[in-house]
Chain A
Amino acid sequence: MVSLTINGKTQQFDVPDDMPLLWVLRDVAGLTGTKFGCGMAQCGACTVHVDGAPLRACVMPVAAVAGKSVTTIEGLSPDASHPVQRAWAELDVVQCGYCQSGQIMSAAALLKAKPTPTDADIDAALSGNLCRCGTYQRIRAAVHRAAELAKG
């Protein structure tokens, strides 16, 4: 039995210790906003926050994060009001959308670490999040916009 606090709610999961956190989130907890992409931490689609830091959920055995606090895209804000979500909507960043929950979680992690990032900061922090639609220019613009929104 593994205990996790997901989006503020502590839950027990009767799953194998080596089950990837992503499987627990999607298939057991039913939180399908976090996506499976490559399964090798090479695309970023599965990015969540664990104790506030970004993590690729597809390569992390659930036992390794037992007792920790996991935030998924569903828990980033209760009403899509997080500055990154607002900026994403305002700039209409999304095309197909598959990678976007990972992009948003990585962007939120970046802004937490660096509230006013430069283009280079954004490129460095989000270079592990791939977008087959090529929305990178809008992603970068939206991160800058989110930084402005976060300052109020």
Chain B
Amino acid sequence: MSRLLPHSVVLLLLAGLAGCNSGPDPAQRQAAVDAFATVQKVFQHPRCQNCHIPGDQPLQFDEGLPHAMGVVRGPAGHGAEGLPCSTCHGEANPPASYGPHAPPGAPHWALPPPQQRMVTIGLSAPELCRMIQDKGQNGSRDFAALLKHVSEDKLVLWGWNPGGTRAPVSVPHAEFVAKFKTWTDAGAPCPTG
């Protein structure tokens, strides 16, 4: 047996070592998986999951009841033709003087489009983890675009200021974004159980 390895084998070994070095170490991976628990808590809060549904009728209220008046997703996620979401949902929450039952509002109020439903409701942690990073389901977003979505999208931010008697998302937004970044910086590893 030769003491010298062929060049091709050496290169493969070096490439393999380089690959190992570029991935998260076990501690970083565990921290990322732990951070995903917070991500899951936010994505599956009623303020978020009420519209991230597999069917065509959005949910409403903290209880996640079917949206009144037969409201539907529609051909582009913006409601039925002739009854867009913006018929009732404005660009901002109405003044408090309008009472607790006036519809809330935020920019581009809508569901995900029917072609990419971005379903979060009812998924297990591993399923949700895989869905969020699946460009076939998440609106073709890479990690940077996902981070921008959860950090800046005004409809997402509404979840922390929902008005009326609606429960805001229970995790502070800054903490959520930090956990999301911890998770994606490590390559978005998924929990196993």
Q: Which of A60, A107, A112 has the most CB of B within 10 A?
A: A60
Q: Are A61 and B95 in contact (CB-based, < 8 A)?
A: yes
Total chain A interface residues with beta-carbon distance under 8 A: 31
B80 interface contact, C-beta 8 A: yes
Q: Are B82 and A127 in contact (CB-based, < 8 A)?
A: no
Q: Which of B68, B71, B90 has the most CB of A within 10 A?
A: B90
Q: Are A124 and B68 in contact (CB-based, < 8 A)?
A: no
Chain A residues with CB under 8 A of B13: none
Contact check: which of B70, B90, B95, B102 meets A123 at CB < 8 Å? B70
Q: Are B82 and A121 in contact (CB-based, < 8 A)?
A: yes
A41 interface contact, C-beta 8 A: yes
Docked pose: A128 CA to B87 CA in angstroms:
10
Chain A residues with CB under 8 A of B97: 18
Docked pose: A1 CA to B72 CA in angstroms:
37
Q: Are B91 and A110 in contact (CB-based, < 8 A)?
A: no
Q: Are A41 and B84 in contact (CB-based, < 8 A)?
A: no
A54 interface contact, C-beta 8 A: yes
Q: Are A61 and B94 in contact (CB-based, < 8 A)?
A: yes
B37 interface contact, C-beta 8 A: no
Q: A18-B97, A61-B94 are in contact. Are A128 and B86 (CB under 8 A)?
A: no
Q: A64-B92, A125-B82 are in contact. Are A42 and B87 (CB under 8 A)?
A: no
Total chain B interface residues with beta-carbon distance under 8 A: 25
Chain B residues with CB under 8 A of A125: 80-83
Q: A40-B101, A59-B103 are in contact. Are A54 and B95 (CB under 8 A)?
A: no
Q: Are A127 and B83 in contact (CB-based, < 8 A)?
A: yes
A38 to chain B, nearest CB (A): 9
Contact check: which of A40, A60, A121 meets B90 at CB < 8 Å? A60
Q: Are A59 and B81 in contact (CB-based, < 8 A)?
A: no
Q: Which of B71, B83, B86, B97 has the most CB of A within 10 A?
A: B83
Chain B residues with CB under 8 A of A60: 90, 94
B145 interface contact, C-beta 8 A: no
B20 interface contact, C-beta 8 A: no
Q: What 1/0 mask marks residues of chain A from 111 to 129 whose CB sits below 8 Å from any chain B CB?
A: 1111001000101111110
- Which residue of the partner chain B has the closest CB to A123? B70
Within 8 A of A (CB), among B86-141: 86-88, 90-92, 94-95, 97-99, 101-103
A106 interface contact, C-beta 8 A: yes
A55 interface contact, C-beta 8 A: yes
Docked pose: A39 CA to B103 CA in angstroms:
10
Which residues of B are in contact with A by a Cβ distance under 8 Å?
68-72, 74, 80-84, 86-88, 90-92, 94-95, 97-99, 101-103
Given A40-B101, A112-B82, output 10 extra A-B contacts at Cβ < 8 Å: A20-B98, A39-B99, A53-B86, A56-B87, A61-B90, A107-B82, A124-B82, A127-B71, A128-B71, A128-B88
